[in-house]
């Protein structure tokens, strides 16, 4: 049996048998209290008596940002033994740390993505530093704070780069006591600043330094260390740490807590190497490490955070009034709306709130989401090229990754711009969905329910119109409605796409009646159901006064195609919003998204549903929504307990009394054609007095230009103010 001596900085002495790489060994741990003299005595006593000696926390070399210095006492200790190899972990630490980060990311995708990394310390953790920096969005070093109680690296001339400060730092540490080089848990002699720890999402380095110098509260942080004990993990749990990761292999062959230091692992590899004469260099260590089958130990320390699947969803103001209503920007109502809307479009994405409480009714899977908002209204997005929005969506994806989300949904106009999510998905490192598959499913479900409430008993004998039929949502709605109803009118300003869609429907649903037109016109007059899903601004999408008595209009567009004043002209017609969804669980959005409690837009619900199902993949992208995806997502919604919310019209729930009143009016109009003709005529006159609009935007030949210089100054001031408020938050 191989025997390994590990000399550590504390006092406890233990002997422990282990099995590693299929061989039995015994680890003798002996404490030296940080005293180089005692360490030297232990080395002399065991030289030739054990197969390898590991110096834990007694480094021979100090490395930081490419700079190296020999630690005087550590270098002497490493040379004392004449018969037994002596190592300090530096031979394998960097390699196992790099490998460990890869394996941890595979086990928990996105665990380090776009995170703020604090190295505590970065000293002798080059592998961990380099690997985490490639995943994270920013990296800082706590070394000056840990070793010198300074906010930045010591030196002359203000702030220094790490490369400039590394050498002076190491010069001051080369003869420092071992307990200063490798801090141990306990109360510090001098308190350290908490700000760097508060800034970080991931704190990486040595468990002793973190326990000694980190603040008492580390809520929602991830801690990554070389090794740790159950006592260490319990301390982190009490501080509120969410996730703890140990980089070194466990010695029992399982993915359990890595409680052995790099010095211990290296000493074991040296003792167990196949060729005792093999040099202790990088090639030998690589060959030895290749035999280790392990993964870093990842543990969720807070019970309420374990096993939660996370998603993010992007929203934006539907019109400038949404900006005025926000608590941070109420002051903008004193500025010209056109200016506020223009300036807000340039704001970077903002994290708004955390969505909590989602839980599957069948599997119990928990979900958590994050709302992220752009500043641009639909009008601002449409007046710019798609790259303008792509940039901000990519920034949003990085925010989502930093929060731990593995899928991001595109809300409202962000799913319409450009290629409807394909480019964003290609450039983002997390999954993307437009949410349009569930939007289609719930729209059809809501429309079916509404038509039945208005008295239709046999939908197969009805007639349906789809306005904006060639759009991504409306085209698949058209195909599915043709299968259910069979008589469809397709309206779009893209005639060539209309022809293609008609052929597709006739091929998929033989015997269906398909009428195509570039304007709804009088074709609307005999339709039982009208679905509008356009991106039109400043237009009258349909003339509601021409609808047949008791018709249902399902307005899928956001912002809406039809305004409340137009709908009021025909009180017998039921105008509903697209199907909203109740997410299962005690859901709290943490922000007013304009819907009742627990109720979400279908596109948001799809994103949360995919997270609940663990489907972290690009799902609904592009303008050609697959019908099979619509059917699949609908089945998943039923599986997990997602339900269609109550029907709403212009932000209000539709009651049984509302339906009854509309049906009475509709019946009266059907019974008296002459009266119906007068109602239509009178409504048409009133409609002519209502400004032509869609999405709340009036038709216009263009707004007067402001003086360029004045506008630039005011816009600059506005943007600065918006930025300062965001920075204060």
Beta-carbon contacts of 562 under 8 Å, excluding residues fewer than 6 positions away, are: 532, 541, 542, 544, 553, 555, 575
pLDDT-derived band of residue 714, with 50, 70 and 90 as boundaries? Answer: very low
Beta pairing, strands 86-87 & 52-55: parallel
Indicate the average pLDDT of the chain.
Answer: 88
Least trusted range by pLDDT, from 393-402, 530-539, 706-715:
706-715
Cis status, amide bond into 121, omega within 30 of 0: yes
- Which pLDDT value is given to residue 121? 94
pLDDT-derived band of residue 700, with 50, 70 and 90 as boundaries? Answer: low
- Which pLDDT value is given to residue 494? 92
Extract long-range pairs of 451-460: CB within 8 Å, 24+ residues apart.
451/528, 451/529, 451/552, 453/574, 453/647, 453/659, 454/550, 454/551, 454/552, 454/574, 454/659, 454/662, 454/663, 454/666, 455/550, 455/663, 455/666, 456/528, 459/484, 459/485, 460/484, 460/485, 460/486
Q: What is the mean pLDDT of the segment spanning 295-314? A: 90
Q: Is the pLDDT of residue 154 over 50?
A: no
pLDDT digits (tens, 9 = 90+) for 545-587: 999 999 999 998 877 788 899 999 999 999 998 788 999 999 9
- Which pLDDT value is given to residue 693? 64
Domains of the chain: 93-255+295-304 (3.40.50), 306-437+584-643 (no CATH), 443-582+647-698 (3.40.50.720)
Q: Identify the bridge partners of residue 513 per DSSP, sorted by sequence position.
A: 487
**How close are the terminal C-alpha atoms of the chain, in Å?**
61
Q: Is the pLDDT of residue 606 over 70?
A: yes
- Which pLDDT value is given to residue 164? 66
Judge contact between 467 and 474, C-beta under 8 A: yes
Q: Is the pLDDT of residue 158 over 50?
A: no
Least trusted range by pLDDT, from 110-119, 235-244, 285-294, 644-653:
285-294
- Which pLDDT value is given to residue 133? 92
Predicted TM-score (pTM) of the model is: 0.78
Q: Is the pLDDT of residue 724 over 80?
A: no
- Which pLDDT value is given to residue 717? 38
CA neighbours within 13 Å on the CB side: how many for 654? 24
pLDDT digits (tens, 9 = 90+) for 629-663: 999 999 999 999 999 999 989 888 999 999 999 99
Q: Is the pLDDT of residue 695 over 70?
A: no
Which candidate, 209, 208, 181, 226, places its Cα nearest to that of 72?
181
Instruction: Please give the share of the chain, as a percent, with pLDDT higher than 90.
Output: 65
Q: Is the pLDDT of residue 703 over 80?
A: no
3-state SS class at 249:
coil
pLDDT-derived band of residue 83, with 50, 70 and 90 as boundaries? Answer: very high
pLDDT-derived band of residue 163, with 50, 70 and 90 as boundaries? Answer: low
- Which pLDDT value is given to residue 429? 87
- Which pLDDT value is given to residue 332? 86
Q: Is the pLDDT of residue 152 over 80?
A: no
- Which pLDDT value is given to residue 441? 92
Which candidate, 582, 598, 593, 626, places its Cα nearest to that of 436?
626
- Which pLDDT value is given to residue 66? 84
pLDDT digits (tens, 9 = 90+) for 60-80: 999 998 899 999 999 999 999
More confident position, 529 or 419: 529
How far apart, in whole angstroms, are the C-alpha atoms of residue 372 and residue 368?
13
Least trusted range by pLDDT, from 111-120, 149-158, 163-172, 522-531:
149-158
Q: Is the pLDDT of residue 710 over 60?
A: no
For residue 493, give both structure tokens: 């300003």
How far apart, in whole angstroms, are the C-alpha atoms of residue 409 and residue 86?
54
Instruction: Please give the share of the chain, as a percent, with pLDDT higher than 70.
Output: 92
Q: Is the pLDDT of residue 479 over 80?
A: yes
- Which pLDDT value is given to residue 252? 67
pLDDT digits (tens, 9 = 90+) for 579-605: 889 999 999 999 988 888 889 999 999
pLDDT digits (tens, 9 = 90+) for 133-145: 998 889 999 998 8
- Which pLDDT value is given to residue 464? 95
């Amino acid at each position: 049996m191989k025997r390994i001596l590990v000399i550590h900085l504390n006092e406890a002495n233990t002997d422990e048998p282990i099995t590693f790489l299929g061989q039995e060994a015994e680890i003798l741990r002996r404490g030296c209290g940080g005293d180089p003299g005692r360490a030297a005595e232990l080395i002399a006593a065991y030289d030739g008596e054990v197969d390898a000696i590991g110096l834990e926390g007694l480094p021979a070399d100090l490395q930081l940002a490419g700079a190296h210095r020999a630690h005087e006492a550590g270098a002497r200790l490493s040379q004392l033994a004449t018969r037994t190899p002596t190592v300090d972990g530096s031979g394998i630490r960097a390699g196992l740390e790099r490998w460990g980060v890869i394996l941890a990311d595979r086990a928990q995708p996105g665990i380090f993505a776009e995170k703020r990394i604090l190295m505590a310390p970065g000293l002798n953790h080059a592998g961990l530093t380099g690997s985490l920096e490639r995943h994270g969005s920013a990296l800082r070093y706590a070394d000056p704070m840990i070793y010198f109680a300074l906010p930045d690296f010591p030196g002359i001339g203000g702030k220094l780069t790490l490369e400039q400060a590394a050498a002076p730092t190491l010069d001051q540490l080369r003869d420092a006591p071992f307990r200063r080089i490798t801090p141990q848990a306990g109360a510090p002699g001098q308190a350290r600043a908490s700000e760097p720890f508060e800034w970080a999402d991931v704190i990486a380095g040595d468990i002793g330094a973190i326990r000694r110098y980190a603040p008492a509260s580390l809520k929602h942080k991830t801690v990554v260390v070389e090794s740790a004990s159950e006592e260490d993990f319990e301390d982190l749990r009490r501080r509120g740490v969410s996730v703890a990761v140990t980089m070194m292999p466990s010695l029992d062959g399982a993915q359990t807590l890595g409680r052995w230091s790099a010095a211990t692992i290296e000493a074991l590899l040296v003792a167990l190497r196949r060729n005792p004469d093999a040099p202790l260099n990088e090639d030998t260590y690589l060959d030895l490490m290749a035999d280790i089958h392990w993964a870093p130990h990842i543990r969720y320390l807070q019970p309420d955070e374990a096993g939660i699947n996370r998603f993010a969803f992007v929203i934006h103001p539907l019109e400038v009034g949404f900006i005025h209503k926000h608590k941070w920007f109420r002051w903008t109502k004193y500025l010209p709306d056109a200016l506020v809307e223009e300036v807000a479009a340039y704001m970077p994405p903002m994290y708004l709130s955390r969505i909590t409480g989602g839980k599957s009714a069948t599997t119990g899977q928990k979900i958590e989401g994050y709302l992220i908002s752009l500043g641009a209204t639909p009008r601002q997005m449409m007046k710019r090229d798609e790259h303008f929005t792509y940039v901000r969506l990519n920034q949003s994806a990085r925010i989502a990754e930093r929060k731990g989300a593995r899928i991001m949904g595109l809300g409202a106009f962000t799913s319409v711009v450009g290629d409807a999510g394909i480019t964003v998905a290609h450039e983002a490192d997390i999954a993307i969905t437009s949410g349009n598959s569930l939007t289609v499913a719930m729209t059809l479900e809501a429309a079916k329910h509404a038509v039945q409430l208005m008295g239709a008993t046999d939908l197969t004998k009805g007639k349906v119109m789809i306005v904006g039929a060639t759009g991504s949502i409306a085209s698949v709605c058209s195909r599915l409605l043709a299968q259910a109803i069979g008589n469809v009118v397709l309206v779009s300003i893209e005639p060539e796409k209309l022809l293609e869609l008609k052929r597709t429907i006739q091929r998929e649903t033989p015997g269906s009646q398909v009428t195509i037109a570039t304007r709804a016109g009088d074709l609307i007059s005999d339709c039982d159901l009208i679905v509008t899903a356009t991106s039109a601004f400043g237009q009258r999408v349909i003339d509601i006064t021409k609808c047949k008595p008791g018709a249902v209009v399902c307005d899928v567009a956001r912002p809406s195609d039809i305004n409340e004043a137009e709908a009021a002209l025909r009180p017998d017609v039921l105008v509903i919003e697209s199907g909203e969804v109740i997410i299962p669980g005690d859901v709290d959005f943490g922000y007013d998204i304009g819907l009742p409690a627990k109720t979400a837009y279908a596109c948001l619900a799809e994103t949360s549903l995919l997270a609940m199902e663990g489907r972290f993949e690009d799902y609904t992208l592009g303008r050609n929504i697959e019908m099979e995806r619509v059917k699949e997502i609908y089945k998943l919604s039923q599986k997990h307990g997602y339900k269609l919310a109550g029907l709403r019209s212009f932000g209000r729930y539709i009651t049984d009394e509302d339906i009854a009143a509309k049906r009475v009016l509709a019946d009266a109009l059907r019974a008296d054609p002459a009266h119906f003709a007068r109602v239509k005529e009178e409504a048409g006159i009133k409609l002519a007095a209502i400004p032509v609009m869609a999405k709340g935007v009036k038709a216009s030949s263009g707004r007067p230009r402001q003086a360029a210089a004045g506008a630039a100054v005011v816009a600059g001031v506005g943007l600065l103010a918006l930025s300062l408020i965001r920075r204060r938050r």
